[in-house]
Structure 1
Amino acid sequence: MVVVLGLTALVTVMLCAFALPSAKGAPHDVPVGVTGPQQVTRVMEQKLAGDAWDVRVYDGPEQLRSAIRDRDVAGGLAVTPGGIDVYTATAGGPSATGALTALGTQLAAQRHAEPTVHDLVPFTADDPRGAGLTAALLPMIFGGIFPAVILGRVFPGHRGLRARLAGVLAFAVVAGAAVAAFLQYGTGTLDGDYVVTAAGLALGMAALASVVIGLQALFGGVGLGIGGAVMMLLGNPLSGLATGPHWLPAGWALLGQLLPPGASGSLLRANGFFDGTGAARPALTLAVWVVAGIGLVVLADLRGRRRGAEDAVAAPERAEAVTV
């Protein structure tokens, strides 16, 4: 009965994780800046009040543009005598960009003006839709799970535990460099600093792989299955890599950013398009996961050593009993 209830709960969570991004895909507290005459910005604040937008007023267009590049807001609207300027950062979240552009068009129509869209942080010319960025998520997840499975067979048992941990960390470094090279030089998806981007990808894979290795060492196949399921079935749909995290309900968006896939995607976006702006939080999140994974491995190692010592003490006693 416990197994049935557990599986039912797992299926329910999976359904929520995969269905919510589609069923509830809409702006949720998207930080957006506005600037213009005080009377106009007040009206805009009233019109945008609600759960969709988090409105912030700026003194002028230059301050608004700086806030967008610094990732304080996802985009903004500047009301000028000639109409409305819409400032976006498509690489920071294409769905929010589309919604903000539509909003700017609507507000401009009410003023009988034409909106002018300025994409301050676009995707690259070689990959204008950011398809490579979205496609990078599954390789990052598999890059954390597959090494744990393969190295578990090559170096089984307690004796192979340290070799497995060293192996996944080494693989994360090599795979991070390879994925970054492909995205930057193969598809042209990224245009940031290659070394920084590769280091971020390596950190993300190490975070995922070390936790899976630790769970496997402590709980065997069950731990491996749970770790893989959480990262794949929750981390993948809740990562927000394709749309941006503000396209999910607040609680689910937060959960997605706390899991390695979501944090890895945010770090990749920050390093690949914003020169590292906004990278501190996802990098810290991934570092905590790495420490947690290594901690699990240490616990498994201590448990294995204790069992080995107990077996060594019990062996002479068993031999003496057989001799008698």
Structure 2
Amino acid sequence: MSEQPAPTTEAPTAEAPTTGAGSVRKLAAVLLGLTAVVTLMLCAFALPSIHSGPHEMPVGVTGPDGTTQALQQKLDGEQWDVTVYDDADALSSAIKDRDVIGGFALSATGIDVYTATAASPTGSSALTALGSTLAAQQQAKATVHDVVPYPEDDPRGSGFAAAGLPLIFGGMFPAVILTRLFPGHGALRTRLTGAVLFSLLAGAAVTALLQYGTGSLTGNYWLTAVGLSLGMAALSMTFIGLEALVGFAGLGLGAALMMFLGNPLSGLGTGPHWLPSGWSTLGQILPPGASGSLLRANAYFDGIGATGPALVLAAWVALGLILILVADRRGAKAARTVAPSGAAAPSPA
């Protein structure tokens, strides 16, 4: 009697389902997530613009006591923060010292409007319009004096406003490229060194182009270049630290935060007082906003008002260093854990 061969059984090959309830749930989650991202992007860019305008913008007034006090009471509120000065010279000095962004000198013959376009072009336009309205009510004339204008070669400040994206990409690109070219824990210090050197070179190059190429900046070249370098280093070192700790997801999260929050809230083209107070505060503690404020202070106001944004950027540099050090220690600990077991493993016969 012959033996029947035992039937062979093969385990079915597991294939990812392409249809069914699982795929529907996955597709729905992806669509909802993408919709949420687009909506958040719209909120980040649109809401600050919709609610933009003077928000407790500091202005000064001077003139006869009765008229000055009446104007102060009329303007003081959510839009304007009014300070009274002794005379027009004191008001002009306050503008140069960045205590106020402009103001009005009242007299019997008219109104002198003092502005600082380099401090806030939109604020200067709003003050000019308000001065014309006040003068028309008195059937007088408004005369505008731009105390701190943009340079003659770039009177609209186009070069300064265009510096926002290079500041962000100047921190993002080196982090991505250095991580790709020098991957792994062993090259972490190489990436850090590359980020610092790139920030110094790029800061010097961008400042040279804006100051000597387009004439968009004035002030001390080296001071401005160091400020730009500090802003780029704050971004690139933070990105490298995030990538070293949690991978490209961390780098992507940091880049999205800077692009979709830091950029629209920086106040680079308008000045921070043109944004609602909460948005303005958030924008100024993120590197793009702090970099823009530092650039404005160094380029047009001889460094007046540079301390605050410089400290913010230094804090971001310190955060990047901390993230890098934590990642470096974690990588070194992992290497020490693997090395003994590898040495103890018997070699194959």
Please give the range of the TM-score, normalised by the shorter of the 2 chains.
over 0.9
SS at match of 1:243: coil
1:224 aligns with 2:251: yes
SS at match of 2:118: helix
Counterpart CA distance in 1 for 2:34 and 2:243 is 20
| Structure with higher helix content | 1
- Report the AA paired with residue 95 of structure 2: I
Q: What's 1:118 paired with?
A: 145
Q: What's 1:81 paired with?
A: 108
1:181 aligns with 2:203: no
Mark the structure with the bigger radius of gyration.
Answer: 2
Counterpart CA distance in 1 for 2:278 and 2:33 is 22
Q: What's 2:88 paired with?
A: 61
Q: What do the CA deviations read for 1:154-173 (whole angstroms, capped 9, x no partner)?
A: 11010110000110110000
- Report the AA paired with residue 213 of structure 1: I
- Report the AA paired with residue 54 of structure 1: D
- Report the AA paired with residue 28 of structure 1: H
1:149 aligns with 2:176: yes
Counterpart CA distance in 1 for 2:127 and 2:47 is 21
Cα pair 2:48 2:279 within 8 Å, conserved = no
SS at match of 2:54: coil
Q: What do the CA deviations read for 1:242-287 (whole angstroms, capped 9, x no partner)?
A: 1111111100011111100010001111110001011110111101
1:19-30 to 2 correspondence within 5 Å? 19-30=46-57
Shift of residue 12 of structure 1? Answer: 4.2
Match of 1:288 among 296, 315, 336: 315
Moved more, 161-170 or 18-27: 18-27
Counterpart CA distance in 1 for 2:72 and 2:230 is 40
SS at match of 1:91: coil
- Report the AA paired with residue 251 of structure 1: G
1:39-54 to 2 correspondence within 5 Å? 39-54=66-81
Number of equivalenced pairs: 322
Shift of residue 313 of structure 1? Answer: 2.9
Cα pair 1:204 1:264 within 8 Å, conserved = yes
Cα pair 1:92 1:244 within 8 Å, conserved = yes
Counterpart CA distance in 1 for 2:224 and 2:156 is 19
Unaligned stretches of 5+ in structure 1?
none
Counterpart CA distance in 2 for 1:256 and 1:285 is 11
1:79-228 to 2 correspondence within 5 Å? 79-228=106-255
Counterpart CA distance in 2 for 1:260 and 1:304 is 28
Match of 2:43 among 4, 16, 38: 16
Unaligned stretches of 5+ in structure 2?
1-24
Q: What do the CA deviations read for 1:89-129 (whole angstroms, capped 9, x no partner)?
A: 00001000000001111111111110110000000000000
Task: Give TM-score scaled by structure 2 length.
Answer: 0.89
Shift of residue 6 of structure 1? Answer: 6.8
Cα pair 1:20 1:248 within 8 Å, conserved = no
